[in-house]
Amino acid sequence: MFPLALFVLPLQWGADPVDPVDVLSPGGALRLHVESVERDGEGPGVYSLFEGDTERWRAELPFHLSDIWLGPDGGAFGCGVAHSPETYFELVVAQLDPEGKVLFDERTTMRSPRAIHGSPTPQPRGLVPDPANDRVWVRVFDGYAPDGFESWWGYRLSTGERIGAIEPERDLRAPFQQGKRSLRVDQACPSQARTSC
């Protein structure tokens, strides 16, 4: 009986638990508290928006966002990974309005990894908010991409509309592949990311 318990425990407790997180708006007037319902963060999440010590709203949503940007009005944008019995795992990109209603919930089916013990792909790598230009970039790595470059998926903050994708790493490598030895700071960010799409 004892050896069986040693075998079962790693299966049950193998994934690291996801801790609750607090995200602050620019200026810190608002705070979004996020807790995962599932231990591994791949299920629903409980979201609470606070203004000071006053809770403005609380909701359980069908996804847990691991990377979140909170706007000054209380609207939020984020990405994460959700478990789906039908499709294995899904990459989730979602936006919440200032009242906690889901404006959009975009799902991309993740494929099994190419390597043993690898992660499902595509994997979210974080957010690059650009509120001055009404957009946010979701950094995504796809293990099946032939060149291995990270893509940045663009979305309008005002509407959630998908505005395309760029590959900044490819743009950064090009000058060096052409024999340049240095790169100015204004060249480090691809032109598509500097100007509106």
CATH number at residue 20: 2.130.10.10
Range of the domain at 52: 13-191
Q: Is residue 4 in a domain?
A: no
pLDDT score at 121: 78
Query: Residue 139 pLDDT > 50, yes or no?
Result: yes
Q: For residues 125 and 186, which has the higher predicted lDDT (pLDDT)?
A: 125
Q: Is residue 39 in a domain?
A: yes
Q: Is residue 150 in a domain?
A: yes
Report how many domains make up the chain. Answer: 1
pTM: 0.77
Percent of the chain at pLDDT above 90? 44
Pairing of strands 102-110, 88-96: antiparallel
Q: Is residue 179 in a domain?
A: yes
Query: Residue 197 pLDDT > 80, yes or no?
Result: no
Measured CA distances, 39 to 32, 43, 45, 122, 190 (Å): 19, 9, 11, 22, 38
pLDDT one-digit tens code per residue, 174-183 = 655 565 554 4
